[in-house]
Structure 1
Amino acid sequence: DRTVHLRRGQCVDVEAYGDRQFVLRPYGFHDAFRSDVHDASTHYLGRPVGEWLAARGIAADELGRTDDLQAARLFPVCDSTDEVFDLLEWMLSEQPDPALTALWRSKERLSADEIAARANLRRQDRQRRDFRRDNLPLLAEHYTRSVMYQIDLRDAAQKYVRAQLALPPALPADAPLMHQIRDAMFRAQVHRLRNEDGDGDETRAFSLLREGLTQSARGDLQLPRLDVYRDQIVWGRSAVRIDVAGGWTDTPPYCLNSGGNVVNLAIELNGQQPLQVYVKSTPEPHIVCRSIDLGAMEVITTYEELAQFNKVGSPFSIPKAALALCGFLPQFAAEPHRTLRECLQAFGGGIEITLLAAIPAGSGLGTSSILAATVLGALSDFCGLGWDKLTVGNRTLILEQLLTTGGGWQDQFGGVLHGVKLLQTKAGFDQTPVARWLPDTLFMAPEQRACHLLYYTGITRTAKNILAEIVRGMFLNCGTRLRLLDEMKEHAMDMFEVLQQGDLERYGRLVRKTWNQNKLLDAGTEPEIVAQLCRRIDDLCWGYKLPGAGGGGYLYMVAKDPEAAARIRTLLLEHPLTESARFVDMKLSHKGLQVSRS
């Protein structure tokens, strides 16, 4: 092995030539490779060509053509790697060895133009693949000083598999958390491509992400105390949300690395806030959970029962996790107790929580996240915790990590915070968004309000599997996915500008663009039955989209004018998409989350 020292701005190419030879081509990053060699402004390796030649005792006419540096025969054809290293050191050196000038003169030399025309591209490709195969393990070994966890790890996994490379050792526990997360998902991807079991590594990646996002809650312990009269009921209710630009950029780990931009609206359905929570005290020291819409009830008497909140589909996962975050499980409590009964006795009594989600499951309107935020908001008031809306939103992000459903922050902040707004976060684990409210003219003026239609398709789709696949691509730095997310983030700023200008047509066209971006991110966003529906109303709309992850739920439409909106209503009322398909009256919410007492 030989060591090469490159100064700032120096670059080296070694091109395959013929069957066994190499062409050595060092150059300066800012070298223009044009103009006459005799001109003092023509630079090579960062200095005038004349100076470089004089330091080596070379006359300009030895280069052949001198009228254009691009055509000058500077670059030697080497027979071995030793010659490559010797001549490279000579060409870069401030004090070149005169003995090597003779070696340079003895060699066939090519110009930059000739290298491009005569390089052995097939051999060059093989050579690059070999170098890449050898370099990937080195990048992984020296991850603290390399770009290993910044490269496209999905592509790297494919290269590892093709080259039959052994996986590098697992990262130590003191490695940066995001490195550990990406390393775990990279390993899972390599195992998957090798038809091996990678579930353990993938589970570890999501677990590490949860640890990072929930760490703040574990350090901010709560001391709940009954803060209402025993005959009072705390009533929490909230709007739902429609995302119109930037959805998915709020999702970890993308937002942790790049921040997120989302424009969304808080809306009421059929004149009401559809998500409601009622909390009251009970004399018996236990917890009772009820769901009006599901017709379910559960009585919780032990910590073990309360901790069973990470089962997707359980009717009371959300209130259980919310109670945990409020300090009713020891790991989140400022004053832990031996049993739940003792905890509730110290609190001041039992708790009864009643949920009402007057909206179908899988709606795409952020229902589960906003319901969780509504529960947290009501419990904060009931338990005297004093959380504001931003704290409630952040706690909801943590709650969803406890449920293992993951997710971003735009759903809860979209419903908890009123009106039309741009929500923005910066990179880092603190994902508290800054809200910038926008004019509501497009949604409140009578002639424009009529153009906004919300249609329940009767098709449902659970977002968890969609989310897991997209997040997997984020973990792996998947180039196509990250570039699209960057575009979506910038698109949210375009939407921000248009909403300030109050242009319905441009707004609708940007909603259409959002829909197209969502479909590029996940092919399952638009199943065929939804595509058929979209084709039926396409000519009558400036734009439309399924809110949220897509695949089902509600279709939000921006009709071209009130007449077009009326035609859409007639068309879909006469020929509904499914048996349960229907229009729902949507109204911009000027309240967001509300909590009051009886």
Structure 2
Amino acid sequence: MSLYEDLVAAWVPAKHEWLQQRPLGQELVSGLGKTKMFSYFAFDLLFLHFGTSSEVLDHLSGASSGLVGRRHLCSIPATTVSDIAASAVVLSSKIAPGVSVGEDSLIYDSSIFSGVQIGSQCIVVGINVPGDNGKTVEETVEDSFRFMLPDRHCLWEVPLVGCIERVIVYCGLHDNPKNSLSRDGTFCGRPWKKVLHDLGIQETDLWSSTVMQDKCLWNANIFAILPYFEMLTLATWLTGLSDQKTNYLLPLWKNARRVSLEELHQSIDFTKMCIGSSNHQADLAAGIAKACINYGMLGRNLSQLCEEILQNDVSGVDMCKDFLDLCPKLQEQNSKILPKSRAYQVHVDLLRACNDEAKACELEHKVWAAVADETASAVKYGFKEYLLESPSKMSASTYQNKFDGCVDRFFHPRSVKVELPVRVDFVGGWSDTPPWSLERAGCVLNMAINLEGSLPIGTIIETTKTAGVLISDDAGNQLHIEDVTSIATPFDSNDPFRLVKSALLVTGIVHDNSLESIGLLIRTWANVPRGSGLGTSSILAAAVVKGLLQITKGDESNENVARLVLVLEQLMGTGGGWQDQIGGLYPGIKFTASFPGIPLRLQVIPLLASPQLILELQQRLLVIFTGQVIFRMWIV
């Protein structure tokens, strides 16, 4: 029986069938299945148990191991000068050449230098083994101190209050510190009696005769406080790996100041430990950021790295300023290899890290301008230049082709109506958004839905005899633009008509001067709460773009409309992606993938739902707007 898994399953109705097949499963379901599970917040919490060391490793290497990130914020040498197993998890650590790490081991918040061998299924936390600087890899490996941690062992290092030296602690992965000497207690995987016999240690060396508790690892005075390499030497001896005679090591151990796990946990200098850990992570982040700027393509999150660097209160800002000096070189690189938006964003992140918010805000406009340019280039060849051209003076015959006789001597009114559903996003949101989708593949699964049995978003566009454009919306706002060639970016973020203005730009109506002799009446509506999270603005943009292309005999295909809306949102300054308009333009449930490049390619794959599934969704899908910017969706 698993204390964690089985008890929790008793509170989860969906797990009852599984639980009833296990020992005591039916009793647990009967006793706990109808009770509610509550969570509590403990303000003065001193200790929280996340599981034993063995359970942690089981989780990292178990059925969900594919979801585990095995390298994060770490410095690892080349495979030709080290041996680090692919299944090992290395987090916030620096590993030097000449180090080996076995299968399924966990290394966290450590600096490990040459000559250290860590076995399989080991846990190493907070270890900082000193190394020799200035030597070649071969010299370092040959001259370095040798230490080996056997398979299935734990090794950690902590500072103590009032103690200059840090103490190194170790035990077997499956040692239970509370199991007594007389009840199968072990140390480093061996029974206590064998440990005492092999090392020549007496019980009185470990436990005082006045101790009233059971003799166990928890209260054994076994961990010596000595200079660093002497502690490692004793660790090798106590774990049973030393070939040296005990004549030297036993007196060294006996004469040293020693602490038990119990005393150690009462004396840890948590402030010193946290500061040391923060500075260690800051140094690692600085090294990664420097390599990213000097040798890489700036694919890392520099903002996040700067947050790590600034944990070092003493030198963090100075390190960021050094990186800031490298930014001009980044912007000189070939924009076809290193996108301008990425170079500008790194500059902005570093300015903010250096507390220069004014310059960061000033430069941020260049970031989004570059994203808009790159998006336009990816969506439609030459689109940026086309938007910036002066409106051309087209001939009357061109207008007649464009509007199919609308500017003839006799006015022929035309009207189009476009109505679209909203969309719900199941998975993949944000992978569709530039600049991510311009550099990496995006994948989204979403579904088009009606609200209260009707299509909630739409537009009606009509031609008029009067030149200009009259725009109105369902909020009662109205605007008449006499000269459409006056429409230009950037738009005011508070402009309620910037969506329609942007649609007039991306469809080419403004720059082709198509409305020289006629006008347009554009009405829009969205029977959806503002900020509902259903993709309203992008889908409304798709409706307007599609309507304008219909009335001008343009390419109104869903694929073209989706691409133009992507550009439209960059012009508006909202920076949206493609999944909202895809969700509204294409019916039903669909899986959509985007492939970066010029042009950006979209692939929409409809998923054929069974009639039974459609019926279930129609009967049980409930969309509730909470009044917040997000929305909640339940299937009841």
Give the match for residue 279 of structure 1: 461
**CA–CA distance in 1 between the matches of 2:583 and 2:282?**
50
Matched, 1:211 2:373: yes
Candidates 424, 448, 453, aligned match of 1:266: 448
Tell me, in whole angstroms, the C-alpha distance in 1 between the residues paired with 2:529 and 2:372: 28
TM-score normalised by L of structure 1 = 0.55
Match of 1:386 among 532, 543, 555: 555
Bigger mean CA offset, 131-140 vs 386-395: 131-140
1:252, distance to aligned residue in structure 2 (A): 2.2
Shift of 1:78: 11
- Aligned partner of 1:169 among 327, 334, 345: 327
Q: Spell out, residue by residue over 1:317-367, the C-alpha distance to the aligned partner (whole angstroms, 9 max, x if none).
A: 11111111121344xx5xxxxxx5xx522xx52222122223332222211
| C-alpha contact 1:361 1:460 (8 A) present in aligned 2 | no
Question: Does structure 2 retain, via aligned residues, the 8 Å contact 1:233–1:280?
Answer: yes
Q: Partners of 1:358 and 1:201 in 2: how far apart?
A: 38
Q: Which of 518, 522, 529 is residue 353 of structure 1 equivalent to?
A: 522
The within-5 A match list for 1:103-182 is 109-113=145-149, 118=228, 132=284, 135=287, 138-139=290-291, 142=294, 145-146=295-296, 148-150=298-300, 153-156=303-306, 158-159=308-309, 162-165=316-319, 166=321, 167=324, 168-170=326-328, 171-176=330-335, 180-182=340-342
8 Å CA contact 2:306–2:353 kept in 1: the answer is no
TM-score (norm 2): 0.52
State yes or no: 1:302 paired with 2:466. no
Distance 1:181 1:133 in 2: 22
Q: Name the CA shift for 1:262/1:132 in 2 (closer, same or farther; >3 Å).
A: closer
2:569 pairs with one of 400, 416, 419 = 400
Determine the C-alpha separation between the residues in 2 that align with 1:400 and 1:156. Answer: 29
CA contact (8 A) 2:422 2:456 kept: yes
For residue 374 of structure 1, give the secondary structure of its aligned residue in structure 2. Answer: helix
Query: In 2, are the aligned partners of 1:422 and 1:437 still within 8 Å (CA)?
Result: yes
**Contact map agreement 1:309 1:320 (CA 8 A) in 2:** no
Which of residues 584, 588, 600 is equivalent to 1:415? Answer: 584
Match of 1:9 in 2: 80
Question: Does the 8 Å CA contact 2:375/2:567 hold for their aligned counterparts?
Answer: yes
Q: 2:434 aligns with which of 252, 263, 267?
A: 252
How far apart, in 2, do the equivalents of 1:370 and 1:25 lie? 53
- Give 1:238 deviation, angstroms: 1.2
Matched, 1:226 2:403: yes
- 2:50 equivalent in structure 1: none
Q: Following the alignment from structure 1 to structure 2, what is the Cα–Cα distance between the partners of residues 124 and 11?
A: 26
1:239 correspondence with 2:397: no
Whether the aligned pair in 1 keeps the contact of 2:623 and 2:633 (CA below 8 Å) is yes
Q: Any idea what SS the aligned residue of 1:328 has?
A: coil
- 1:59-98: CA deviations, max 9, x gaps? xxxx9xxxxxxxxxxxxx999645x23xx44689xxxxxx
Match of 2:246 in 1: none
User: What letter corresponds to residue 364 of structure 1 in structure 2?
Assistant: G
> Counterpart of 1:247 in 2: which secondary structure?
coil
Q: How far 1:407 moved relative to its partner? A: 1.2
Cα pair 1:309 1:403 within 8 Å, conserved: yes
Displacement of 1:163: 5.0
CA distance in 2 between counterparts of 1:108 and 1:437 reads 61
> Structure 1 residues 414, 134: closer, same or farther in 2, change over 3 A?
closer
Find the partner of 2:495 among 314, 317, 323: 314
Shift in Å at residue 203 of structure 1?
2.6
Letter in 2 for 1:227: D
3-state SS of paired residue (1:351): strand
Code of the aligned partner of 2:446: N
8 Å Cα contact 2:281-2:309 kept in structure 1: no
C-alpha spacing 1:372/1:28, structure 2 compared with 1 (3 Å): same
SS of alignment partner, residue 595 of structure 2: coil
Report the AA paired with residue 573 of structure 2: T
The residue type equivalent to 1:264 in the other structure is N
CA distance in 2, matches of 1:289, 1:233: 15
User: What residue is the counterpart of 2:355 in the other structure?
Assistant: 195
Distance change >3 Å, CA 456–CA 132, structure 1 → 2: closer
Cα distance between partner residues in 2 of 1:454 and 1:151:
35
* Cα gap change, 1:309 to 1:361, in 2 (>3 Å): farther
Contact 1:303 1:329 in 2 (8 A): yes
Are the counterparts in 2 of residues 157 and 186 from structure 1 also a CA contact under 8 Å? no
Q: How many residues matched?
A: 381
1:314-353 equivalences under 5 Å are: 314-330=495-511, 333=512, 343-345=514-516, 349-353=518-522
Q: Is the 8 A contact 2:281 2:308 kept in 1?
A: no
User: Are the aligned partners of 1:421 and 1:436 in contact in 2 as well (CA < 8 Å)?
Assistant: yes
Higher relative contact order (CA 8 A, sep 6+): 1
Task: State the distance in 2 between where 1:91 and 1:174 align.
Answer: 38
Distance between the aligned counterparts of 2:507 and 2:559, measured in 1? 16
After TM superposition, the runs of 4+ consecutive aligned structure 1 residues lying more than 6 A away are 28-32, 77-80, 114-117, 120-131
Q: Deviations over 1:264-296 (max 9, x none)?
A: 1112223322222122222232122122x1222
* Structure 1 SS opposite 2:450: strand
Q: How does 1:557-572 map to 2 (within 5 A)?
A: 557-559=634-636
For 2:616 and 2:285, the matched residues in 1 are separated by: 63
State the alpha-carbon separation in 2 of the partners of residues 25 and 361 from structure 1: 55
Match of 2:98 in 1: 27
Point out where structure 2 has 5 or more consecutive residues left out of the alignment.
1-76, 85-94, 104-113, 116-128, 157-167, 169-227, 233-272, 388-397, 407-411
Instruction: Give the deviation of 1:185 after TM superposition.
Output: 2.5
> Is the alpha carbon distance of 1:9 and 1:258 closer, same or farther for their aligned partners in structure 2, counting shifts above 3 Å?
same
User: Against the structure 1 CA distance between its residues 441 and 159, is the aligned structure 2 distance closer, same or farther, given a 3 Å change threshold?
Assistant: same
Mapped partners of 1:312, 1:272: distance in 2: 30
- Structure possessing the higher radius of gyration over alpha carbons: 2
| Secondary structure of 2:363 counterpart | helix
**Deviation string, structure 1 residues 105-155 (Cα, Å, up to 9, x no partner):** xx684244499975699999899679758746753662xx33653365422
User: Which position in structure 2 is the counterpart of 1:496?
Assistant: none
Q: Deviations over 1:557-592 (max 9, x none)?
A: 211xxxxxxxxxxxxxxxxxxxxxxxxxxxxxxxxx
Deviates more, 1:257-266 or 1:384-393: 257-266
Contact 1:139/1:148 (<8 A) preserved: no
Measured at CA, do residues 433 and 148 of structure 1 come closer, stay the same or move farther in structure 2, by a change above 3 Å? closer
Q: Distance in 2 between matches of 1:247 and 1:164?
A: 37
